[in-house]
Structure 1
Amino acid sequence: MSSASSDVILARMMSLHPKIIDLTLDRVWRLLEALGNPQDELPPVIHVAGTNGKGSTLAMIRAGLEAAGKTVHVYTSPHLARFHERIRVAGQLISEDDLTAVLDECEAANDSADITYFEITTCAALLAFARSRAEYTLLEVGLGGRLDATNVIDRPAITAITPVSLDHQQYLGDTVEKIAFEKAGIIKRSVPCVVARQEEAGLEVIEEVAARMGAPLLAHGQHWHVGPERDGMIYQDEQGLLDLPRPNLPGDHQMMNAGTALAVLRALGLGETACEAAVTRAEWSARMQRLRQGPLIEAAPDVELWLDGGHNPAAGEALARHLAGLPRRPTHLICGMLNTKDIGGYLTPLAAVADGLTAISIPGEANTLPAEETAEAARAAGLAAETAPTARQALAEIAARTPQARVLICGSLYLAGAVLRENG
């Protein structure tokens, strides 16, 4: 198969529905029925929703399961460099031939009917999973939960909800309570649900949904606890106490994600080997990722370069805490964001730990916030700001002024993907 063949099909799929996001399950159910309902043939499903930390939590669960000898299907979104990253079949990224085959089949079964890109590609992932043996399936919600295309599993093994905060208000509602209700839509009757630390208003909504569904909750602060302990971390639930290393994924916020992952693994009956691997072996790109090689590093060898795809106020707060905990070094941001995000809420906490910001537009992204508007928002937040045409030029200019600076490229997963592609 040509390496471009899946790209050609994916490009066609982008035109099947006029709206980028249109939350409903009707189109998904129709296509799944035409495909023979592959969602009913999956290995036990672990379904994860939430505003922040879904991907990191899922990566930790995967690391734990695989350390315990389990084979795992994984579906995540969005991808960073290549679409294939979204679909991991029995532990391996889907091959080009297999991806092309399931995309072709889904396109034919859909027969040019309206369907969104995310919906039809989710169906393709479920079809690929149903045709390959594994012991677990990990599904990450794309947006919300209740009407997300992944929410088609009648009885998952367990569900999990990571911290809920304001994001995608135009689709999910303008309060934490409304957004929590959408996330809680993944809760299924009598199926246990692990819940990370939440704002009180959001937790009340989740508890109400769980009570109505008869779903046992395993909630942080009630049924399990996690926190720092000297150079490591402590996790405790009714099964006992685990004394573990700190998560290998950088950032204090990863401890809560680790606690959520550990609660899931313990509920599934996994032991200490899985739990330790969850916090020491997880891999997740563009989540406070240190870039150590590639063309960008070669162009600015003395710069300490980081990359993060977080894009909402809670992500800005988490990044600020992490940067504040690093050894002091002149810190500069290279930031590009979508025009749908709360840029002021994102940048305000970062203004306290950064010395300046260079704003860029996200390459190839129609919904990018123009660089000058990002710069204006940064100035309003108290940051000295300028613009540059590309991340590479921004980095070169920062390195010329401050060769040993710490630079964080941030603001969007779409920007992070572009950077990773450019950096090889």
Structure 2
Amino acid sequence: MIINNVKLVLEDEVVHGSVDVQDGVIRTFAQTQSQSPQAMDGEGGWLLPGLIELHTDNLDKFFTPRPKVDWPAHSAMSSHDALMVASGITTVLDAVAIGDVRDGGDRLENLEKMINAIEDTQKRGLNRAEHRLHLRCELPHFTTLPLFEKLVDRELVSLVSLMDHSPGQRQYADRSKYREYYQGKYHLTDEQMVRFEEDQLALAAEWSQPNRMAISAACRARDIALASHDDATPAHVVESHHIGSVIAEFPTTFAAAESSREHGMNVLMGAPNIVRGGSHSGNVAAHELASRGLLDILSSDYYPASLLDAAFRIADDARNAYNLPQAIHLVTRNPARALNLSDRGTIAEGKRADLVLAHRKGDHVHIDHVWRQGKRVF
């Protein structure tokens, strides 16, 4: 397969040329036009590496599209997978929550069904994107470690993150934001909300630190990439670094992001944060970190189409320290490197032919086609 007449977004530059794919890998690329009559005309669009998503809970929406609605597993997986590739994502780590029982049990009940669906469809070659697992471990609960130990040796586990959403710290250092979010989400009275907070604080005091140490030790022993989550202070970062974290997911302050970089951790922020212009929790905005060059990886989190949109917005914003290739690294090369996926993430000879063809139409970057390992999947 030859894709002709495209702007190739390479590691350090954008060149106008063509790419030749054979047996699922990039054989050659050139700054010239192919003369082959079989070559596909890219019509001057950008040709990018396939996007790599490290943290999305998008699959939840398809398993439980409405409260108390339980959707058939393979249908849910197929719809989720289709949305991923339509967003340009060719490698996705589906995040499943362990120990987070605050949603009335839906996530817990769906956990095994979701993981089985991911594994089965991936093994049978039914997915258009490559799906892996990200275990999101909510530390303040007695169920977390037993569930983690049950799941950690599953073949597709590629990332583990350590979360603590208890009130008064990290994402919810402002307890009024905590009350606003959870009281609204669960329709609690003031009295019920007080009891809810007290319960969460008690769980955190008993379980957070023991679970943090046990889970991080298991990841180090298995060489599984570890991520911190919502670090707010340099002290949080030092602890995360000490237990082996290589990714800092959603640091909530500039000081935490800066400290994460100083300790060699990849700073990951939400692409929706870029598109919306700020954090829905009132924490540090991703564009503020981008303006200081403190952003390494973007995640679509809850909105898959935000990933490519955010990368182009960062490149377009003159306040930021990223040109287009550097901005595209945030959703391709950098997440690949963080997981030691050396076969993808860049347009280079011998790399997987995971590719995205896109054009700008007005203010929107429109995805035309997506290939995974040379096979067109969108």
Per the TM superposition, whether the score is higher than 0.5 is no
Q: Which has the higher contact order (CA 8 A, sep 6+)?
A: 2
Structure with the bigger percentage of strand: 2
- TM-score w.r.t. structure 2 length? 0.32
